[in-house]
Amino acid sequence: MIKQALPSTQVVILTSYEGELLQRTTQMSGAYAFLVKGCPPETIRNVVYQAWRYKVGMEHHARLLKGDTS
């Protein structure tokens, strides 16, 4: 639902559960990343930053398609 309302929003899931089924479900839902609780803080920071950069790039691309060059 989030991606339908705000397509450039990038979802990062942080969970205490692991497993192939959860990873596949996450990928199918369109989430940007799946992190397991307990991963290093640097990993969380890096993934959130990468998701933000991806969002910025998507928004820039959308503006270019509309002819907005600002």
Tens digits of residue pLDDT in 8-23:
889 999 988 888 887 7
State the pTM of this model: 0.76
Alpha helices in 1-70 (DSSP H): 2-5, 20-29, 41-65
Tens digits of residue pLDDT in 22-51:
778 877 888 899 899 999 999 999 999 999
- Non-local CB neighbours of 54 within 8 Å, separated by 6+ positions: 10, 32
**Residue 29 identity:** S
